[in-house]
Structure 1
């Protein structure tokens, strides 16, 4: 079993502004660990995490693949998250490259069909539209969980770009909960981008039924 990345460098003030790893984070770590052999065989060169928060997930992926075997790009709208992500990479000896931006906006053209691993633990909690818009606009910690209508407003924006980013042998890992209508997500990605899907892992966490969906090209 691979150890969870060391986050001891993050203090209480960091945790007031940046999403602290929780059950959804740990489920994604478990899903990646379960696929360790596949990921190492794939030998990805470019990895991209959307909404990296503390940097925990990308640091963990780096421990699976090797810190110098791939480029680890991490985006987040929260400047404090970018700072924490960089520090987490340094703490765990994985060179993470954070970029403060909305989803993958400044990278989409440069990385067209080039990203081998995409990770996204989105804001999936259903809220009203205004709350989601305010959370994204304020670029603070609420942006990590306020998902808008059906918890899908932010996720939907990124799903439209996945097919343009993912390499021919790429994998896209998405965290979702049952309320997000997972069959509809999978059908949409199949029709729009011809991406196959599988449930890599699922788990109940309190009232939430969480899933890790892995998408890949046919």
Structure 2
């Protein structure tokens, strides 16, 4: 079901086909909750006045394109990364389809982008959070978009120690978690790195309890 947003429209994804979605994660309830949560937090985002906005694991490009429409250009730089080359291409096409200006890079997390360390003002991450056997985490293509390993945390736990080096001092970090990911543990880990948190979105979707958590210093 589409989300009704008073200030920013859902990005158009009619350029992507069922064939594309065999290789790329299709926007679903977690995606819609994410953009709804960003919309609700728009005043804080605008007050932050971010200059560099990054989404890790952008998939179809739905979320990074949405936030670019929500906040506008105004000297801001939008970029996304995805380890799946099909997803990187889809993100680029979604940016173009919506007249956004997102730089898309086919890489893991921020490998090869060391120059951006300490300068990301908004970081978005809808990780592969589904609990699966650890072997599936190494899979490529569409499986990489959901396979999270033990507790759905294996990819998440690889990123968390890098957060301090990625973000600027004033940054917001938004992440999708489900109950199986043990959100309290994630919050405790981030607290040990000096971050506070706020639950900015929560929704029951089918058999999942979804959270959007914002971390900030």
Quickly name the TM-score band, shorter chain normalised: over 0.9
Structure 2 unaligned blocks of 5 or more: 1-5
Aligned-pair CA distance for 1:195: 0.7
Determine the structure 2 residue equivalent to 1:57. Answer: 63
Q: Distance in 1 between the 2:197 and 2:145 partners?
A: 24
Q: TM-score, normalised on structure 2? A: 0.95
Mapping of residues 105-116 of structure 1, within 5 Å = 105-107=111-113, 109-116=114-121
- Residues 119-144 of structure 1 show CA distances to partners (whole Å, capped at 9, x for unaligned) of 000000000111222x2xx2x01100
State yes or no: 1:130 paired with 2:131.
no
Hey, what does 2:104 align to over in structure 1?
A: 98
**Cα distance in 1 for residues equivalent to 2:9 and 2:104:** 22
* 3-state SS in 1 of match to 2:19: helix
Which sections of structure 1, spanning at least 5 residues, go unmatched? none
Work out the CA distance in 2 between the residues paired with 1:12 and 1:131. Answer: 23
Shift of 1:68: 5.0
SS of alignment partner, residue 41 of structure 1: helix
User: Quick check: 1:31 aligned with 2:37?
Assistant: yes
Deviation readout 1:29-88 (Å, 9 max, x if unpaired): 011000011111111100110000000100100011103531111000111111111111
Cα distance between partner residues in 2 of 1:112 and 1:121: 20
1:214 maps to 2:214: yes
Where does residue 142 of structure 2 map in the other structure?
A: 141
Number of residue pairs matched by the alignment: 211
Mapped to 1, the partners of 2:83 and 2:109 lie a distance apart of: 7
Is the 8 Å Cα contact of residues 46 and 114 (structure 1) preserved in structure 2?
Answer: yes
Distance 2:183 2:18 in 1: 35
Name the stretch that deviates more: 68-77 or 93-102: 68-77
2:44 matches 1:44: no
Match for residue 117 of structure 1 among 122, 129, 139? 122
Q: Rate the CA distance shift 1:142–1:68 in 2: closer, same or farther, 3 A.
A: farther
Match of 1:19 in 2: 25
Q: 1:178 maps to which residue? A: 179
Matches of 1:126 and 1:104, distance apart in 2: 24
4+ residue stretches of structure 1 with deviation over 6 A? none
Does residue 66 in structure 1 map to residue 72 in structure 2?
A: yes
- Report SS of the residue matched to 2:176: strand
Q: Give the TM-score taking structure 1 as reference length.
A: 0.94
The equivalent of 1:82 in structure 2 is 88
Partner of 2:3: none
